[in-house]
Amino acid sequence: MLEIKNLQTRFRTDNGEITVLDGVSFQINKGETIGVVGESGCGKSVTSLSIMGLLPRTARITGGEILYNGENLVAFSKDQMRKVRGKEIAMIFQEPMTSLNPVYTIGAQIMELVLNHTSMNKKQAKEHAIQMLKLVGIPRAEEIVDEYPHQLSGGMRQRVMIAMAMSCSPSLLVADEPTTALDVTIQAQILDLMRELQQKSEMTIMLITHDLGVVAEMCDRVVVMYAGQVVEEAEVEKLFATPKHPYTVGLLGSIPDMDTEQEYLFTIGGTVPSPGQMPPGCRFAERCQKAMDKCYEQAPPLFDVNDGTKSRCWLYE
Ligand code: SF4
Ligand code: MG
């Protein structure tokens, strides 16, 4: 459904242009939930904004393709992207307040999308907005539809975001840390809701998260990103059972262990190198316990491992 090929996205800074995504490639199959994981600053959000055509003004795609059902979104005009966004591909963010407009009612915001993307009239659009609010489990939907975002709790706002995103039945939902700002109980409810909606609508989901617990629960396949590149791609069971890339191994070691009440078993020392200051060899070498001489000199390509996993590491040459 979506194939990202060798995507390169650069940002303008005071010190010149820096490459933030450097040859990102992966594909999303129809109907699956794919997880994109990695520490903050690895390029997860920039990947989703590149797909949506919502990069900030200081950023641009300088190479590669984003093929959606065979059409290259990178070559689309702003107008063409506006038609795709919301109708074909919708997105939800971590903090709904940044994407909900405070001066319009919830209903008006859902209606605007529906009126733009479908042939419904105003009355039908309002009715549809109420239906969508009910679908995402919002009580008193007939009243909430006329309320403003600040009148709702964080969990309810996130439900409204999902209702908005779902309002034109997109084929692909891109969810960037959709539950990170929510407490654990609400988080579980929102994830359940997404799963339920996916089953009803055969929607494809790209779920960006730093939470591997969420990945284990929700995803079929996982893409691990590090320093602007994909370093591992695997089916979810394989990722957890036999992680390949040393970075993935480190991430899995960082899952809080409930049994021992230790908050973290192991955290990877060091930090992600900054864009513009990438080392010549493997970008993880400074933090890798398995690093060899070669790793400091030559950047590893993404190797195919024989179990179908991909790993950007010389250990799999
Ligand atoms: Fe570690 Fe070398 Fe593999 Fe990089 S290529 S992850 S430094 S072993
Ligand atoms: Mg992010």
- Looking at this predicted complex, what is its ipTM? 0.96
b/e per residue 13-46 (b: at least 16 CB within 10 A):
eeeeebbbbbbbbbebeeeebbbbbbbebbbbbb
pLDDT of residue 267: 67
Domain with 46 in it: what CATH number?
A: 3.40.50.300
The amino acid at 217: E
Ligand 1 touching residue 313 (CB < 6 A):
yes
User: Do 222 and 274 belong to one domain?
Assistant: yes
User: Do 109 and 174 belong to one domain?
Assistant: no
Q: Give me Rg for the CA atoms of the chain.
A: 20
User: Do 268 and 120 belong to one domain?
Assistant: no
Last residue of a domain, one of 153, 169, 185: 169
User: Do 73 and 102 belong to one domain?
Assistant: no
**Which ligand places an atom closest to the C-alpha of 174?**
2
Establish how many alpha carbons lie within 13 A of residue 76's alpha carbon, considering only the half-sphere containing its beta carbon.
Answer: 22
Q: How many Å lie between the centroid of ligand 1 and the Cα of residue 197? A: 40
User: Do 304 and 194 belong to one domain?
Assistant: yes
Tens-digit pLDDT profile for the chain (317 aa)? 999 999 999 999 998 999 999 999 999 999 999 999 998 889 999 999 999 999 999 999 999 999 999 999 999 999 999 999 988 999 988 776 667 899 999 999 999 999 999 999 999 999 999 999 998 889 999 999 999 999 999 889 988 998 998 888 899 999 998 887 778 888 888 888 889 888 888 899 999 998 888 999 999 999 999 999 999 999 999 999 999 999 999 988 866 555 554 444 456 788 888 888 899 999 999 999 899 999 999 999 999 998 999 999 999 99
Ligand 1 touching residue 38 (CB < 6 A):
no
Q: What is the extent of the structural domain holding 254?
A: 2-88+170-316
User: Residues with beta carbon < 5 A to ion ligand 2?
Assistant: 45
pLDDT of residue 46: 95
For residue 68 the two structure tokens come to 């959606």
Establish how many alpha carbons lie within 13 A of residue 195's alpha carbon, considering only the half-sphere containing its beta carbon.
Answer: 12
User: Do 60 and 117 belong to one domain?
Assistant: no
User: Do 160 and 175 belong to one domain?
Assistant: no
The Cα–Cα gap between 291 and 315 comes to 9
Last residue of a domain, one of 169, 194, 221: 169
Ligand 1 touching residue 315 (CB < 6 A):
yes
Establish how many alpha carbons lie within 13 A of residue 173's alpha carbon, considering only the half-sphere containing its beta carbon.
Answer: 27
DSSP 8-state assignment for residue 176? E
Say how many domains are in the chain. Answer: 2
User: Do 262 and 192 belong to one domain?
Assistant: yes
User: Do 176 and 259 belong to one domain?
Assistant: yes
The Cα–Cα gap between 156 and 240 comes to 32
Nearest to residue 180, comparing CAs of 149, 206, 204, 154? 154
Which of 224, 314, 316, 317 is the pocket-test mutation for ligand 1 (most atoms within 8 Å of CB)?
314
User: Do 228 and 304 belong to one domain?
Assistant: yes
pLDDT of residue 100: 87
Nearest to residue 125, comparing CAs of 91, 172, 163, 98? 163
Strand partners, 37: 224
- Contact between 1 and 207 under an 8 Å Cβ cutoff? The reply is no
User: Do 147 and 175 belong to one domain?
Assistant: no
Q: How many Å lie between the centroid of ligand 1 and the Cα of residue 212? A: 22
Say whether 65 sits in a helix, a strand or coil.
strand
Q: Taken in order 74, 79, 84, 86, is the CA torsion positive or negative? A: positive
The Cα–Cα gap between 247 and 174 comes to 24
Ligand 1 touching residue 299 (CB < 6 A):
no
Q: How many Å lie between the centroid of ligand 1 and the Cα of residue 101? A: 45
C-alpha distances in Å from residue 273, one per residue of 48, 62, 262, 284: 21, 21, 28, 8
Nearest to residue 19, comparing CAs of 52, 55, 53, 59? 59
pLDDT of residue 6: 97
pLDDT of residue 48: 94
Ligand 1 touching residue 291 (CB < 6 A):
yes
User: Do 256 and 278 belong to one domain?
Assistant: yes
Q: How many Å lie between the centroid of ligand 2 and the Cα of residue 168? A: 25
Last residue of a domain, one of 169, 203, 227: 169
